[in-house]
């Protein structure tokens, strides 16, 4: 256990020191949001390599300034296989902390998703009262799987909450790399904040060119600062992580590669699971669906359903599929040897940045709306264009925004991210 908790012996934490010494770094918002009132059972999700562990290590450094170092426990669960092993880890720590005279702790269990039945180890110790004075933070990269397992804790969360760590959205990217303090807020204040940020129009356009090339993952951002590009090593590292996740969820590389190739060729146009099945070697639309849901579960893509004029969601119709960060376009595009359309990357960036605050859909009938948000019972439309375009939104969308090369960065700079 001590190798995961160097602060017990007053040794430096290598990951934290690397973060602190980096040419560019930032404190993820989630660090200040996690409540530390016992008893709490928190869930922190986010894609691989997004910085969940780094965020935890930053929080730990803050904690050990105010509480005994041995009352902060961190364990990386990647090497564990099942709930019995996890239970042994917890019991060993709880026994040791009792011997040290520590009455309450903050316990971090990192990347627990793929430990078989991990929840049994935590739930049984909550029920036994072993953790009643503690704060427990569970992290995982497979969000859908983790949230399913979260349902095994009814009435056992205390003050716990759910948190998601995303790659940098564009407004935060502009702050970290450009030093711009843009005005951000909810969608109801969008137009006002866009006008306020127009002071930075030229700089935002330049920063957006960088953003759609490198995305918002910490390693890709640091590569850009150091080398002016994302390195091959970083791309391969992330691909290895994401392949490892889908393999552990029972998905084959061959089938996944076929589906990814189809998605990239589709360029964000509405598709059906059946159309993928008929044009690949995968003989079942249900199998296709499960593969896409796996990618969604590890937060590599988002799926947009069709929304009707009365705001009913038609999940039976074709769907739009967008990768969840420009860096993922690069990683998976190189994996299948197909370069993603920059028009699609741009549209996806709008959809993903909006999705962090609102559910997102699309509209299609005689005309199309790329992204539709629902806010206060009304639909708000966003259409992305690469040039001059005459566009008339459908009658039922009373608020619509046409985003072009000049104003799109302004709109994204006004969104919370």
pLDDT score of 77: 94
- pTM score, whole prediction: 0.93
pLDDT score of 407: 95
pLDDT score of 165: 95
DSSP bridge partners of 303: 321
91-115: b or e for each residue (b if 16 or more CB lie within 10 Å)? eebbeebeeeebebbbbbbbbbbbb
Residues in CB range of 242: below 8 A, 6 or more apart: 47, 48, 298, 300, 331, 332
Phi, psi for residue 109 in degrees, rounded to 5: -110, 105
- The residue assigned the tokens 């969104």 is 415
User: pLDDT tens digits, the chain, 417 residues: what are they?
Assistant: 889 999 999 999 999 999 999 999 999 999 999 999 999 999 999 998 999 999 999 999 999 999 999 999 999 998 899 999 999 999 999 999 999 999 999 999 999 988 999 999 999 999 999 999 999 999 988 766 666 777 789 889 999 999 999 999 999 999 999 999 999 998 989 999 999 999 999 999 999 999 999 999 999 999 999 999 999 999 999 999 999 999 988 999 999 999 999 999 999 999 999 999 999 989 899 999 999 999 999 999 999 999 999 999 999 999 999 999 999 999 999 999 999 999 999 999 999 999 999 999 999 988 889 999 999 889 999 999 977 667 889 999 989 999 999 999 999 999 988
pLDDT score of 113: 85
List strands edge to edge, sheet with 106-110.
72-76, 106-110, 135-140, 40-45, 162-164
If asked whether residues 101 and 211 sit together in one domain, one would say: no
285-304: b or e for each residue (b if 16 or more CB lie within 10 Å)? eebbbbbbebbbbbbbbbbb
CA atoms of 59 and 27, how far apart (whole Å): 9
If asked whether residues 183 and 136 sit together in one domain, one would say: no
If asked whether residues 204 and 346 sit together in one domain, one would say: yes
If asked whether residues 230 and 110 sit together in one domain, one would say: no
Q: Are 111 and 137 in contact (CB under 8 A)?
A: no
Structure tokens belonging to residue 18: 């690397």
Task: Please calculate the CA angle 177-180-182 and round it to the nearest 5 degrees.
Answer: 130
If asked whether residues 123 and 178 sit together in one domain, one would say: no
DSSP letter (8 states) at residue 76: E
If asked whether residues 196 and 95 sit together in one domain, one would say: no
Q: Which domain holds residue 190?
A: 170-413
CATH of the domain at 46: 3.40.50.300
Comparing CA positions, the residue from 399, 406, 404, 368 lying closest to residue 389 is 404
Please identify, among 164, 193, 208, the residue that sits at the C-terminal boundary of a domain.
Answer: 164
If asked whether residues 348 and 250 sit together in one domain, one would say: yes
DSSP letter (8 states) at residue 6: G
Please identify, among 138, 164, 190, the residue that sits at the C-terminal boundary of a domain.
Answer: 164
Look at the chain and report how many structural domains it folds into: 2
If asked whether residues 66 and 191 sit together in one domain, one would say: no
Please identify, among 131, 164, 197, the residue that sits at the C-terminal boundary of a domain.
Answer: 164
If asked whether residues 295 and 374 sit together in one domain, one would say: yes
If asked whether residues 122 and 174 sit together in one domain, one would say: no
With H, G, I as helix, E, B as strand and everything else as coil, classify residue 139: strand
If asked whether residues 138 and 176 sit together in one domain, one would say: no
If asked whether residues 214 and 347 sit together in one domain, one would say: yes
């Amino acid at each position: 256990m001590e190798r995961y908790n160097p602060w017990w012996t007053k040794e430096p934490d290598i990951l934290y020191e690397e973060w602190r010494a980096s040419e560019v770094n930032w404190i993820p918002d989630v660090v200040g949001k996690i409540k530390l009132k016992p008893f709490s059972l928190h869930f922190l999700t986010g894609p691989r390599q997004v910085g969940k562990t780094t965020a935890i290590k930053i929080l730990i450094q803050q904690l050990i300034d105010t509480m005994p170092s041995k009352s902060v426990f961190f364990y990386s669960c990647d090497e564990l296989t099942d709930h019995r092993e996890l239970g042994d880890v917890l019991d060993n720590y709880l026994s040791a902390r009792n011997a040290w005279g520590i009455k309450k702790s903050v316990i971090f269990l990192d990347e627990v998703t793929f430990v078989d039945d991990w929840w049994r180890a935590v739930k049984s110790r909550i029920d036994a009262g072993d953790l009643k004075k503690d704060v427990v933070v569970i992290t995982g990269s497979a969000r859908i799987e983790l949230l399913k397992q979260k349902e095994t804790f009814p009435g056992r969360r205390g003050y716990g909450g759910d948190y998601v760590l995303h790659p940098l959205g564009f407004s935060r990217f502009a702050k970290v790399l450009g030093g711009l303090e843009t005005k951000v807020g909810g969608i109801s204040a969008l137009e006002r904040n866009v006008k306020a940020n127009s002071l930075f129009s030229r700089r935002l356009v330049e920063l957006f060119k960088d953003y759609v090339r490198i995305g918002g993952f910490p390693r890709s951002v640091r590569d850009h600062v150091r080398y002016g590009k994302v390195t091959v090593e970083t791309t391969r590292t992330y691909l290895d992580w994401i392949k490892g996740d889908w393999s552990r969820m029972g998905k084959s590389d061959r089938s996944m590669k076929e589906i990814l190739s189809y998605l990239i060729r589709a360029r964000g146009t509405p598709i059906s699971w059946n159309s993928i099945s008929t044009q690949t070697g995968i003989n079942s639309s249900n199998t296709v669906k499960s593969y896409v849901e796996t990618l969604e579960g590890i937060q590599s893509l988002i799926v947009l359903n069709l929304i009707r004029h009365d705001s009913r969601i038609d999940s039976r119709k074709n769907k739009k599929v967008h990768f969840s960060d420009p860096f993922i376009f690069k990683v998976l595009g190189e994996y299948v040897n197909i370069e993603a359309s920059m028009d699609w990357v741009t549209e996806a960036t709008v959809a993903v940045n909006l999705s962090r605050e609102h559910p997102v859909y699309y509209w299609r009938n005689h005309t199309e709306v790329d992204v539709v948000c629902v806010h206060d019972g009304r639909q708000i439309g966003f259409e992305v264009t690469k040039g001059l375009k005459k566009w008339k939104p459908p009658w039922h969308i009373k608020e619509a925004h046409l985003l072009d090369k000049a104003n799109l960065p302004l709109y994204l700079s006004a969104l919370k991210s």
